[in-house]
Amino acid sequence: MDIILKQDISSLGHKDDIITVKDGYARNYLIPKGLALNATPSVRKMHQEILKQRAHKEDQIRLEAEAIAEKMKDLKLTIGAKTSTKGKIFGSVNTIQLAESLKKEGFGIDRKDITIKEELIKEIGSYTATVKLHKAVKVDIPFEIIAE
């Protein structure tokens, strides 16, 4: 029996894949649990249209992300932190401060989309963060920690 997966299943495939499984497995487990749809001709036609529309939207989102990445490419951030006399930061600098700094520059990036290569930043210096704008578009942003 041919089915269309509604979500990723590790042993079978990824979401929106059309696969063939045994009839009992499809009727007794996958379809009742809402993990798959029976791939009738009308469902296949509707599935193809949805995939076509999703691909078009995905291209637009990717192009917007690339435009934002082009603007962010030359950006260099400076973040102030309270420090001791030896240059150690009280606490640490993390993605929250980076997201706030990016917001001041006019980029509304969620802190969950920012990754700092170092786990904890506890000293003054220059570092690099990676901002994920889209699953295919990432930008490296240099930033510097200075004493306030």
pLDDT digits (tens, 9 = 90+) for 16-47: 899 999 999 999 999 999 999 999 999 999 99
Count of domains forming the chain? 2
Give the span between the Cα atoms of 78 and 76, in whole angstroms.
Answer: 7
Residue 47 is predicted with a pLDDT of 94
pTM over 0.75: no
Together in a domain, 79 and 57: no
- Kindly report, residue by residue over 76-85, the tens digit of the pLDDT: 898 888 888 8
Together in a domain, 29 and 55: yes
Together in a domain, 82 and 27: no
Spell out a b/e string for 104-116, using b for 16 or more CB atoms within 10 Å of the CB, else e: eeebebeeeebeb
Together in a domain, 54 and 89: no
Together in a domain, 75 and 143: yes
Residue 3 is predicted with a pLDDT of 95
Contacts (Cβ under 8 Å, ≥6 apart) of 148: 80, 81, 82, 83
- Kindly report, residue by residue over 104-128, the tens digit of the pLDDT: 988 888 888 899 988 778 888 899 9
Together in a domain, 85 and 140: yes
What integer is the mean pLDDT of 125-144? Answer: 89
- Written as one letter, the residue type at 52 is K
Give the span between the Cα atoms of 98 and 108, in whole angstroms.
Answer: 11
Together in a domain, 57 and 98: no
Confidence of residue 140 (pLDDT cuts 50, 70, 90): very high
Of 65, 80, 113, which residue sits at a domain end? 65
Residue 38 is predicted with a pLDDT of 94
Residue 100 is predicted with a pLDDT of 92
Higher pLDDT, 50 or 86: 50
Nearest to 118 by CA among 129, 110, 109: 129
Q: What is the DSSP letter of 9?
A: B
Q: What count of residues does the chain have?
A: 148
Residue 148 is predicted with a pLDDT of 79
